[in-house]
Amino acid sequence: SKISKYIKKIKNKIIFFIPSLKKLRKYE
């Protein structure tokens, strides 16, 4: 269904986003 595809996209974004957040914290 469309919803499950959408959820997958969001999960992928979150998985990519978390490491970049940690990097930003390091440089703070």
d(CA 27, CA 25): 5
pLDDT, position 8: 97
pLDDT, position 4: 96
pLDDT, position 12: 94
E strand or H helix at 11, and its extent?
helix 2-27
Cα end-to-end span (Å), the chain: 41
pLDDT, position 10: 96
Tens of pLDDT, residue by residue over 1-28, are 899 999 999 999 999 888 888 888 877 6
Three-state secondary structure call for residue 1: coil
User: Is this prediction's pTM over 0.75?
Assistant: no
